[in-house]
Amino acid sequence: MLADQVQRYLQERCPVSRVRQVLEQPPRFAEEVWQGLAELGLLGTAVPESYGGTGAGYAELCLVAQQIGRHIAPVPFGSTVYLLTEALLQFGSEAQKQQWLPKICSGEVKGALATTEALEQLAQAQVHASVEAGRLSGEKLMVADGSIADVYLVLAKQNDQLGLYLVPADASIQTSTVDSVDLSRDVAHVTFDNTPAELLHEQGWSGLQALYQRAAVLFAFEQLGGAQRALEMAVDYAKERFAFGRAIGSFQAIKHMLADMFVAMKLAESNCYYAAWALDNNAPELPLAAATARVGATEAFQLCARDNIQVHGGMGFTWEFDCHLYYRRSNFLALEIGGLSEWEDRLAQAEFRNEVKAFIKASAPHYLAENLQKSGFGNTNTGEYDTLEEAKKWQRTKAEAGWACLSWPSEYGGRDASPIENVIWAQEEGVYGRLSGTFIIGQGMCAPTLMAYASDTHKQRYLPKLASGEEVWCQLFSEPHGGSDLAGLRTRAEKDGDEWVINGQKIWTSGAQHSDYGILITRTDATVAKHKGLTMFFLDMKSPGVKIVPIKQANGNSEFNEVYFDNVRIPDHQRLGEVGEGWRVSITTLMNERLAIGGSIATGFPEIYDLVSNLSLQGQPAIDNAAVRSKLAQWYVKASGLKNSSSRMLTALAKGDNPGPEASMGKLVAGNMMQDIAKFAIDLQGQAGLLVDPEIAEGAARFQAMLLRSPAVRIEGGTDQILRNIIGERVLGLPEDLRADKGMPFNEIPTGSQERDQPIRLSTKLYQGLGIIPVSLKELAFNTFLLLYYNQVLGLSASYASFALLIALVVDAVSDPIVGSFSDNFRHRLGRRHSLMYAASVPFALCIYLLFSPLPAVADYLHVWLLVFALGTRLSFTFFAVPWNAMFAELSDDYKERSELISYRFAVGWIVGIVFVFSIYSFIFVASDAYPQGQLNPAHYQTFALVLSLTVFAGAFLTTHLTRDQIPYLRQPPASLRRFSLPVLWEELGLAVKNRNFRVLIFAVLASAVVGGTNQALQIYMNTYFWDFSGEQLRWTAVAVLGGLLAFFTVLPLQNLLDKKYLLVACAVSIMVVTMVPVTLRLLELAPANGTPGLVVMIVIAATISAYFGTIALIMFTSMVADTLDVQEYETGLRQEGLFNSVMTFSSKATTGAGILIAGLIIDHVIGLPQGAQRAQITPEMIFRIGIVDAYVVPLFNVVWLSLVLKYSITRDEHTQIQQVLARRRMPDSLES
């Protein structure tokens, strides 16, 4: 109960968005969250009631701590509750407890523990802060929550005796906030200057250790909560992310990683619960239990937070995703409490080394050495100098002296050096080698590909400038939804004469913003297996149509970029290799990429060796510590292995061989080693390890930069898991993983969903629009002819007929959300939409035929026949219409293109409507002597039923079949989405109606459908009796469809002028006015007489204007529903097109049925029309009443739903921002080098 209460509170008051606000906008503290915790009594969970607490106990406090960790709450819970409160409870006098504990429990006082005075692990000899005559002076470093504390718990000396002191905050205290690895938590240096201090515990050192022992259990639970949430994030993503044709969670490598995370978390959980029992009972086992829980939880949180990023791939390393927040907090909590011989040169090598040393001494930019030494990983520090310019200058200096690209042939700017000479150069270049990062991709990856596949002319032109640094190159491989599945790329190259036209997008491209040229892999044939339809090119990055957008990463830098290609033209002579041989060419690049990355990655071994050689650990040199020496030995073996492996591969290159898949090994080992070393080095430095400012703590900043950069190292150039597959399959000969897409033509490969890189084709818009044919003809049949047919032709009571239609509509409406949820969750090779649309086409057409063709034998049971086949028609139609409507929302995310799609839909509908209505009145409902109004002739309805059923079948089948090629672009149900069930439906409905804009639209639909249903049912009576139209005259009303066609051409310009809701309201008001005009003219005797051509012209003009405004209104409303879906996905992560559209149609159908029932009651009881009446039986009073109700009474109720529409709040700008976020979320899981 308590844990659930805390979780609900933090979910509401401390979402990740609030954590981000604290992260990005100091102060690093959420005051309102803290006060809410106090109001719930959580700050005093373990404090006795006599001191203002709840006295619940430590077991309950552990559960609270777990939720604090799960939500990474930016509050001083540890400093205040775990440390200060515990110190008061364990060591405080009664007076001290009475003074401070109630204020802590009420949230009035926040605490901070101040112990450290040097940038290394805490030791007794390190403490110099002193107390004399009750006043404290001294400086404390890296005090967690130091700048927001109201009282400090300080470790200080008095007469050479360490003690713990309570120090209330006052004006004599100076604080200076410093950045730590977790920017959502406050850390400060605190200076005390003759500040009043009160002794809490005279045995300061032993008291501090006892305090840490108890607090360790509480910190462990906070870490456990963070670990559990990080694991959940990783599991959810693995279920939803698709690569190689299936969810990545189905791959063994990912499964194993997640299993390791789960095991670590569960072991930590067991240890934590044992420690909670020991703490709650003050058991003798507490010291061991607390240590076990602390170590296990620390390792579990760091493992889960680290590998959560790994599972998310490239997106996990972006600032926008939440993974790095848990990664930062895991390293913050881990610290909150708590040499070897080189190679002997041979004589020849020594001579070469001396030559290198002389050049470095004479020519290196020594003025940069100090800053370069402070460089963080992924961030070259050149101080006041421009990094790119300095890098180019040093590269040019090396090239002019013959020291650039040593192993290259001299004709291309190299030196023809041996592999070992490369190694010696790297050793002697030292920190200046950090300037070479800009050129690693071009020289290490692009150049070998050019050497192997470019023409001699191109080699002579580009390679020397690449070696000298005059031109920078990048490689353009990874794509959205491609990730590690490189062969799944979708950037297209189409031949146009002697040029290729490129369209598409690349992502994770390192250094693109600085590059002059790049090598680019594209798809030139989508009809063959995905590896066979690729072609490689190189291009000028300044070409027209190339757009580069930097990506902000989790460490705050922007090394990687998105690159867009919009009709970029590349000459055919810049093609590398043959057309369709791009995969073979790319293998050369990839193997050299992994060699370059693996050979150039700084593993961190020299830095860790330097650190432990100069660091004091418990009063002794750290390098003398047995545990440290053990770690150094392990890393030295790996570092030496990497050097030797690199040398062997360089030898292979020198012989003209390409590096094999073994090149993957270097990057795999180096990336993990860097991360392990960074973590170890930070831990050795104690709280100093938190700092990221090199001016304050150079050593700590170096390893923090290494820690934050290392996740990207393990992803770029191929994730660890992909590299393990390469080694297993291509080196060890193990069987390949199961690949659903192996051998399939690229354009038939199933994906989670593809992203479009160009606008939707005109043909697709028209094909999707064909679905409006069965929709509009079904509406015509039900709303125009069905009530008239059963009431006036067959003689069934209007009230009963309308009531039967209401039942059918309500049952149909109830089925809509069920079918919508079923469709959202449905899995089939034809997708979750098309499979249902195919299945519904025949039953739908058959039912609508029988609805208008009752058998003579059922003449006495017409009410049963009507109900049965009205239900059958509506239900079978639902299985077509709900997926068809949902498909529209999935076809495009673009604000304007959606409106254009709907425009084409209504254009098709109106065109078919003209032809159909004109045809049935011209050729089916033909007037005769017995029936001057052909629509009242019962003999005509069987032909009408046959034509109607064939037309709706053709429309349903064709729109389904002709849009099959769009299935890959439609959102597929994620693997984590539960199968359909009524409880699931109910839960999903609950999520949907929490969306405010969705609620607005639902109520608007309810109100408008009542009005529309009543109006539609009355319309045929108006045309038949008020205007006295014959069938020949009624057919001309089909011309009104031209208004809909005009709307098709003008809706987009109008949408540019007004937001959707205002355009919708303006159109609806216009329709109300136009509807009243003809009847008003008739009542004023200004309208042409019935039966005259002038009357037909007047009604057709009014209907055309109404159709124009009505079409625009429908387009806007449908588009608003689709935009609301995007907001729902943004807020909840769910795509519920089927459910949203079905709830809308549910509302519409249920209330349309109510409107039809109202119309039936009006016909029977207000107007008084007899069933099966002849024209002569209709009196002028009846006709007058029809006109008044239809033109004035019913339209006035439109005001209700229009007032609701005005409450819709999604604007064009807001929708654009949401789409940008959603596009980022759908990006892939691999970084491009």
Strands 517-523 and 473-476: parallel
CA–CA dist 125, 322 (Å, integer): 41
Joined tokens for residue 1032: 């020949």
Joined tokens for residue 862: 């017409």
Half-sphere exposure of 332 (CA within 13 A, CB side): 29
* DSSP helix/strand/coil, 187: strand
| 650 touches 419 (CB < 8 A) | yes
What CA–CA distances, in Å, run from 1018 to 948, 1025, 1150, 1183, 1194? Answer: 22, 10, 18, 12, 10
CA–CA dist 1222, 1220 (Å, integer): 5
86 among known catalytic residues: no
Task: Give the length of the chain.
Answer: 1233
Joined tokens for residue 636: 């030295």
Token pair 């997106």 is found at 315
Residue type, 167: V
| Gyration radius from the chain CA atoms | 38
Closest CA to 47 of 81, 78, 73: 81
Sign (positive or negative) of CA dihedral 613, 617, 621, 624: negative
Question: Residue 590: which H helix or E strand, with range?
Answer: helix 582-600
Q: What phi and psi, each to the nearest 5 degrees, are found at residue 529? A: -55, 150
Selecting among 593, 662, 716, 988, the annotated active-site residue is: 593
Question: Please, which residues have CB within 8 angstroms of residue 1231's CB and are 6 or more apart in sequence?
Answer: 313, 314, 317, 478, 508, 510, 560, 712, 715, 716, 717
Angle of the 1060-1083 helix axis to the 1198-1205 helix axis, nearest 10:
160
Sign (positive or negative) of CA dihedral 295, 329, 301, 602: negative
* DSSP helix/strand/coil, 503: strand
Cis peptide, bond prior to residue 694, ω within 30 of zero: no
What beta strand segments (E) does 1035-1099 contain?
Answer: none
Strands 161-168 and 517-523: unpaired
CA–CA dist 308, 720 (Å, integer): 13
What DSSP character marks residue 318? B
Sign (positive or negative) of CA dihedral 973, 976, 980, 983: negative
Joined tokens for residue 899: 């409106």
CA–CA dist 776, 782 (Å, integer): 10
Closest CA to 598 of 706, 717, 707, 703: 717
* Residue 636 burial (10 A CB sphere; 0-12, 13-18, 19+): middle
Classify each residue of 350-371 as buried b or exposed e, where b means 16 or more C-beta atoms within 10 Å of its C-beta: eebbeebeebbeeebbeebeeb
Token pair 């042939």 is found at 409
* Residue 1143 burial (10 A CB sphere; 0-12, 13-18, 19+): buried
What CA–CA distances, in Å, run from 195 to 55, 192, 318, 721, 865? Answer: 33, 6, 44, 56, 93
Joined tokens for residue 16: 């990740």
Instruction: Give the Cα-Cα-Cα angle 956, 962, 968 (nearest 5 degrees).
Output: 115
* Residue 844 burial (10 A CB sphere; 0-12, 13-18, 19+): buried
What CA–CA distances, in Å, run from 145 to 185, 963, 1026? Answer: 7, 59, 81
Catalytic residues: 593
